[in-house]
Structure 1
Amino acid sequence: MFRSTIVRRSMLAAVSGAALFTLTACGGGGESGGGHDMSSMAGASPSNSAPAATTAPAADFNDADVMFAQMMIPHHEQAVEMSELAETRASDKEVKELAAKIKAAQDPEIQTLKGWLDKWGKPASSHGGMDHGMPGMMTEEDMKKLADAKGKAFDRMFAELMIAHHNGAIDMARTELQSGANAEAKEMAKAIESSQQAEVAQMQKLLDRL
């Protein structure tokens, strides 16, 4: 009887010790496993974010986009001014129609360009009044001569000056296509290059018959 009691106590002690060992081992394994998991997650986080940074979309705009908008606004404004002169001074029907087409296309683009600069938090101009130094821009003297001309003389001068003006805009558009980052600005640049190249070809033919 006494021996049986001792055996039972020994077995209970052994079972308790085994259970305690098991719990300790499980607890230790859980903490260790949790530690490895956190370390693994912490290590995985930078590796997961690295590709995102690499594949992130390009910036909404860059300096080339800003310069394109700032330069194209006064460039377009002068083209519109030249086109408005044609309304009362041109004698050739094709010149009048072309001038109206240029004004209709460039007036809305001016507003779009101004809207971009406002959205980007950039000023409308960075040239300090030196806009006439841009490609294809007419001087004040050129504009005065055009305003003073009438009839066929105006028609020829308008075509000659607008060809130079368009070529300047085409150069600016190509610069934007090469260096810009903003998708909308590049889309406008592509449209300007395409449409104004076609108008230059039209005006060259027009000069041949005037």
Structure 2
Amino acid sequence: MRAATIGVPILAVITAVLVTRCVAAGPPSHSAAHHLSAQAQAPIPGGVNGASAPAAAPSGSFNATDVAWLQLMIPMTEQAVLLLDMAPAKTSDPKIAVLSKSLGAGNRAELQRLHELLDRSGVPYVNEHEGHNLPGMVTTDELGLISAADGAAFDRLFAQHTREFLMQSVLVAKGEQGAGGDADTKAFAASMAEAHESELTQLEGIGE
């Protein structure tokens, strides 16, 4: 994942991207902002005569920020769960073994709720960020490197990437609270931010 945080500004960019509903083509960008902005100019496969296909509009109280946040947090959380699942067999620290199970269970529950909210928005889930190296998202390549490590080396990588995921998820959750439209989605973002801030406290001193 990228070390920089994206927070509210990039959540706004993602919102703009989802309004135009374009999917990026080509290799992942090294800049999250550049990459997400480029999505707005890329044609959608399946468009009629090369034209971009229209997006499914959010229904009811949902706005584009709600959808942007949900479609960002789903792949971020999916990748984080894969990382958390590695820990019991790879770590040398009993605290990490216990913490990873707790975080894994919590993130699975959050993932289910994220999908439920997106389903209620009326917008079908599409992984807009597959292959993208975004802040807070553990990439497939990074998961491979982490899996190859053991003991203290694994512990350091686990703590680093888990911490970055939790920090970034708190930032974008606060962006959703400020700019989202659906009350239930904003309330869930608030509860997620609170939970992840608590989990960051639990990570203090681990993997150092």
3-state SS of the aligned residue for 2:207?
helix
Cα distance, 1:128–1:146 mapped onto 2, change above 3 Å? closer
Tell me, what secondary structure is at the counterpart of 2:206?
helix
Give the match for residue 176 of structure 1.
176
* Whole-Å separation in 1 of the counterparts to 2:75 and 2:127: 11
1:69 lines up with 2:76 in the alignment = no
Deviation at 1:125, TM superposition (A): 2.4
Structure 2 matches for 1:6-21, cutoff 5 A?
A: none
Q: CA deviation at 1:158?
A: 0.3
Aligned pairs for 1:1-210 (under 5 A) are 60-125=61-126, 127=128, 129-130=130-131, 132-208=132-208
Structure whose alpha-carbon radius of gyration is higher = 1
Q: Any conservation in 2 of the 1:71–1:134 contact (CA below 8 Å)?
A: no
> Following TM superposition, by how much is the alpha carbon of 1:119 offset from its aligned partner in structure 2, in angstroms?
2.1
Aligned length: 149
Higher deviation after alignment, 198-207 or 152-161: 198-207
1:83-117 CA distances to partner (integer Å, 9 max, x unpaired)?
Answer: 10012111211111111111111112212211222
Q: Which runs of 4 or more aligned residues in structure 1 lie more than 3 Å from their structure 2 counterparts after TM superposition? A: none
Give 3-state SS (helix, strand or coil) of 1:205's partner.
Answer: coil
Quick one: distance in 1 between partners of 2:128 and 2:134? 10
Contact 1:135–1:171 (Cα < 8 Å) also in 2: no
| Structure 2 contact 137–165 (Cα < 8 Å) conserved | yes
For residues 12-34 of structure 1, what are the alpha-carbon distances to aligned partners after superposition, in whole Å with 9 as ceiling and x for unaligned?
A: xxxxxxxxxxxxxxxxxxxxxxx
Distance in 1 (alpha carbons) for counterparts of 2:76 and 2:129: 15
Cα separation, partners in 2 of 1:141 and 1:93, compared to 1, 3 Å? same
**% identical equivalent positions:** 30
Flag structure 1 segments of 5+ consecutive residues without an equivalent: 1-58
CA distance in 2, matches of 1:157, 1:91: 12
Whether contact under 8 Å (2:63, 2:180) holds in the other structure is yes
Name the TM-score, length of structure 2 as normaliser.
0.66
Distance 1:100 1:110 in 2: 15
Distance 2:129 2:65 in 1: 18
Instruction: Find the aligned partners of 2:182 and 2:133 in 1 and give their Cα distance.
Output: 25
The two structures have a TM-score, normalised by structure 1, of 0.65
Conservation of the 8 A alpha-carbon contact between 2:169 and 2:193: yes
For residues 78 and 126 of structure 2, the distance between their equivalents in structure 1, rounded to whole angstroms, comes to 13
Deviation at 1:182, TM superposition (A): 1.4
**Which has the bigger relative contact order, CA under 8 A and spacing at least 6?**
2
